[in-house]
Structure 1
Amino acid sequence: MAEFQKPAYITELGESYIGNSLELLETLEDESINLVMTSPPFALQRKKAYGNEDQAEYIDWFTQFAVLVKKKLKQDGSFVVDFGGAYMKGVPVRSLYNFRVLIKLVDEVGFHLAEDFYWFNPSKLPSPIEWVNKRKLRVKDSVNTVWWFSKTEFPKSDITKVLAPYSDRMKKLIEDPEKFYEAKERPSGHNIGKSFGKDNGGSIPPNLLQIPNSEATSLYLRRCKQIGIKAHPARFPSKLPEFFIKMLTDEGDLVVDIFGGSNTTGYVAEQLNRRWKSFELSNEYVAASTLRFLPDSSTVEYLKETYENVLQGQSVSLNDPTAFELT
């Protein structure tokens, strides 16, 4: 196992580290992680501030992380990855990089595709500009692919933890099935009967997750503005990791994000009483992510002090407002 390093900061349930995930994963025990939930830099044609690989090199680059993740996952653990779509350079033709990653991780690394999910972001701005806004040749790209990988065919999973609220119509049906539904045989010959009248606590969610990414007034963004720093430019909404953390883990389980960014995954895991670890290369992004965890009563001066201490390489405990440096 690789040499242990101090976390950039700790909370009651988690630890955030600055460094390369390939090295940091090696410090963990084999078969110790319940869920790796992450959103890596996408294979885009234009380089972004948060770092992204060239499409041609992306598949091999990402596979090295996947191999190590598989080693560190428990036998019933899961690996959930959010990939954004991309176009080929200079033409209105879609890249297949996210599908090629999927096939390679199954065929060569040995993962199973437990299920494919599609995250629809209704608030996403029209893109790419060239093909959508200027030439008007394509509709806006508003769906990300989210692959749920597992080590075995039967990973830990419980969809009763992520049931969707019933619609008003369904509530009326449950209250009085006879009034709203008459059992009939379908053309296929299947007789549904009166099973629709049973209250199961909610409806089974589809694999199309409609989650807007429009947190313009979130605590994290407000605090970044308060202390005059730039927020991470590619955050995913908290409800995305929340869905998978609830469905695929229990309280006390370990959740890891290998491309931590602004540490949305760690923050959600903390709220759901899961242990967590977050790995991120950028000390600026890690320092800014402390703003998610500091108390509501924190002054601007305290926010700045915490941010600067982490930025300068101190190892900080966010559990004790009076002490910064960890021993």
Structure 2
Amino acid sequence: MAKQDKKAYDLSEAEQRDLVTLIQQGKALPEKYRFILFEDKREVELVWNGKTRDVCTTVLPFQTLEHVDEPRAETKTQGDLFDPRGRQVRGWTNKLIWGDNKLILSSLKSGALRRQIEDAGGLKLIYIDPPFDVGADFSMDVEIGGETFHKEANLLEQIAYRDTWGRGADSFISMIYERLILMRDLMAEDGSIYVHCDWRLASLVRIALDEVFGKGGDNEAPGFRNEIIWYFSQGGKGVKHWARKHNTILYYSKTDSPIFNQDAVRLPFTPHKQDEKGENYGGRMGVDEDGRRYVEKWGTGKKKLYRYYLDEGKLPEDVWTDIQSIQSAATERMDYPTQKPEALLERIIKASSKEGDLVADFFVGSGTTAAVAEKLGRKWIATDLGKFGIHTTRKRLIGVQREKKAAEQDFRAFEVLNLGRYERQAYLNVGGRLSGEQKAQALTQKENEFRDLILRAYKATEFGGTEGTQAQDGFFHGARNGRLVVIGPINLPVGRLFVEEVITECRKRGASRVDVLAFEFEMGLFPAVLEEARGKGIDLAPKYIPAEVFDKRAIDKGQVVFHDISFVEATPRYDKKNKFAVTIELTDFSVYYTQGAAEAAIAAMKEGKSEVMCEQGQLYKVSKNKEGIVTKARLTKHWTDWVDYWAVDFDYMSRREIIKVPVGTGLSGVASLLGIEPPQDELITQEFEERWTGGYIFENEWQSFRTRQNRDLELATAVHTYDRPGRYTVAVKVIDIFGNDTMTLVPVNIG
């Protein structure tokens, strides 16, 4: 009798009848029948609602926003890696990527960057500290005007929090499980992963890791290797429970032979008993023929005598008590709520990677993993969903570059990337086997539906619905508060030609007020075109479409906020003695942010308390006294209070932004076109074609920014000297205290 038939015989007649009834009714079978009816060798499994081993297979090109390295002309080392202007010209460039790490991981795994990863030796180490309490992870305290402004998570971050915790623990496990599978597939064969947990979900995360990597348990098996207890003396107060004074770090490997450099992380011996010289050691003391002192101890398991030399130290155990959490006065402190100490990452990176290896952190937060990797001579990839986290990491890594440059030590440039407009293209992707005409019709319908979604988010009245939008008006998409509304191209920046068309169409209709909504505007477009529109009697208001429009729940709740564009004014100052030299001065910056429901926040404020709030581009300290009287004191006294960081590219249009897209009709090319995962053995052999996006990469040649220790900001660059006369375009980027960036273009004439 077949094994399957025998298992069926193990059921009683009543159980068989119950099974037939449940199947006919389309109901779920009790879990016990799974092990009775089917072969399943797993002793323990983590099960949750909606569990699947399917993972994201979307592959998108990365948009290069910025290239960052300190100018290298005066540096004596690494001359073959950098050109005279200071640009890295060969080898691996580190990656700082903003966006959803699910899309980032799938695009790294099967996209053009995978070949770069393999050429760099493969991904040897992953450390992640996933958001177990996202509300705390994404909120920030921002210092301004001598006061502290508490920046809540932006809506995109709140959406991520909702997706992660909104349905309870199962939604978190579902989120991390998919990402763990993608991380495993991206890792080198001798790679390792360390997952940082606290008491909330450590047990569930360990079972998920067991499923993805294996249970391990000894040196011959892949998977689990250690449960590390990181004990810290600060914090952890208990009221109705024992004080929580540790985190858990789960260490797993992809195969049974991961990189592990025990000699790189040895510690001094711990005292146990006193020898004749008053020193404390456990074991028999001795001195070898070279005069080196040692301790001999019996090992566990098979009886074997081990010799430990005192000048070598010993391998740390899996309980780490010698690394403290970050103190309030520590120089490495970034005021980021979930920041971990550099010493913790230093031990992990030294143990599980070698100099020149590639390490990654896909929940990078304040950038500790990237900073320590850079200091230790490792290559790195760092990603985060929070824009402020990316900005904090950018500043931190520039600081590391400056330190290494001053010490004449090697370092690499890094790029700031995102999926940007390509993520929007994926949202509008039309799949299936369709003719050219059918695909065009389906794409038009999807674009119209997306525009309707944007209009709903903007609380605008659309012109006749999806069909009527085109038929009734022909150009404008809706109206709001007596103003016409037009939505710019979804996959392209709004440029001068589009704005001129808006002005022309307004004059045809006798309209004088219009809102232009766009994901991107061409740099240098404003304020010139606004003045041109005003000269023709048109009040034109450009507004950014936020990424939150991709979330229908946020739209339904009316939470999406469209911001006015910020304005940057920068002025070139020419050197009277050197006609090839110029200085760029930042002369103005204006923003129009409003925090949200300020009235509701004031009403909810307790008497005797105060808060800092943002309204119409200004920050106010709002106080409520014991009698309930509310007073407001403006904190932003000058436009410079809004500037956290600014940087300059002195020859902006000298480096085109190139993306790589799959080509050919091989299996990988077909898989990419169909939106499915290419065969694993073809991931590296897939051919890619280079294409210019029409944009340029911002090369960060000079920057000034505020740090926790130094709040000063330089408002003029160092003198920049050009090699030859000509007309150049200087790009100036400003990042405000909330992490939002604005760019403007400044023409300069040299010679």
* 1:72-87 aligned within 5 A: 72-86=186-200
What is the identity, as a one-letter code, of the residue corresponding to 1:144? N
Q: Which residue does the alignment assign to 1:149?
A: 252
For the pair 1:160 / 2:263, whether they are aligned, the reply is: yes
Q: Distance in 1 between matches of 2:349 and 2:297?
A: 38
Q: Which ranges in structure 1 are unaligned for 5 or more consecutive residues?
A: 87-96, 127-131, 225-230
* 1:238-249 aligned within 5 A: 238-249=342-353
CA deviation after TM superposition for structure 1 residue 48, in Å: 2.9
CA deviation after TM superposition for structure 1 residue 5, in Å: 2.3
CA deviation after TM superposition for structure 1 residue 60, in Å: 1.0
For the pair 1:218 / 2:306, whether they are aligned, the reply is: no
Q: Which residue does the alignment assign to 1:69?
A: 183
Q: Which residue does the alignment assign to 1:21?
A: 101
TM-score normalised by the chain length of structure 2: 0.34
Partner SS for 1:27: helix
For the pair 1:122 / 2:225, whether they are aligned, the reply is: no
Answer with 1 or 2: which has the greater Rg.
2
Query: Between Structure 1 and Structure 2, how many residues are aligned?
Result: 289
Q: Which residue does the alignment assign to 2:124?
A: 34
CA deviation after TM superposition for structure 1 residue 165, in Å: 2.4
What is the identity, as a one-letter code, of the residue corresponding to 2:328? A
For the pair 1:257 / 2:361, whether they are aligned, the reply is: yes
Q: Which residue does the alignment assign to 2:503?
A: none
Q: Distance in 2 between matches of 1:98 and 1:248?
A: 22
Partner SS for 2:63: coil
| Equivalent of 1:48 in 136, 149, 161 | 136
- The 3 A distance-change label for structure 1 pair 141 and 7 is farther
Q: Which residue does the alignment assign to 1:2?
A: 60
Cα deviation 1:82-138 (Å, max 9, x = unaligned) = 00112xxxxxxxxxx322221122225557112211111212342xxxxx2xxx321
What is the identity, as a one-letter code, of the residue corresponding to 2:211? D
Contact kept in structure 1, 2:213 and 2:223, CA below 8 Å = no
CA deviation after TM superposition for structure 1 residue 283, in Å: 1.1
Q: Which residue does the alignment assign to 1:233?
A: 337
Contact kept in structure 2, 1:8 and 1:286, CA below 8 Å = no
CA deviation after TM superposition for structure 1 residue 18, in Å: 1.1
TM-score normalised by the chain length of structure 1: 0.73
CA deviation after TM superposition for structure 1 residue 178, in Å: 5.4
Contact kept in structure 2, 1:220 and 1:292, CA below 8 Å = no
For the pair 1:307 / 2:645, whether they are aligned, the reply is: yes
Q: Distance in 1 between matches of 2:302 and 2:136?
A: 54
| Equivalent of 2:240 in 137, 155, 158 | 137
Contact kept in structure 2, 1:7 and 1:16, CA below 8 Å = no
CA RMSD of aligned residues (A): 4.0
CA deviation after TM superposition for structure 1 residue 189, in Å: 10
Contact kept in structure 1, 2:66 and 2:700, CA below 8 Å = no
Question: Which one has more relative contact order, counting CA pairs under 8 Å at least 6 apart?
Answer: 1
Q: Which ranges in structure 2 are unaligned for 5 or more consecutive residues?
A: 1-58, 70-87, 109-113, 139-156, 215-221, 288-292, 406-585, 587-639, 649-695, 704-717, 719-730, 734-751
Cα deviation 1:150-177 (Å, max 9, x = unaligned) = 1112211111110012357799579x93
Partner SS for 2:64: coil
CA deviation after TM superposition for structure 1 residue 182, in Å: 10
- The 3 A distance-change label for structure 1 pair 252 and 189 is closer
Greater strand proportion: 2
Q: Distance in 2 between matches of 1:283 and 1:182?
A: 52
Q: Distance in 2 between matches of 1:288 and 1:182?
A: 46
CA deviation after TM superposition for structure 1 residue 148, in Å: 0.8
- The 3 A distance-change label for structure 1 pair 318 and 148 is farther
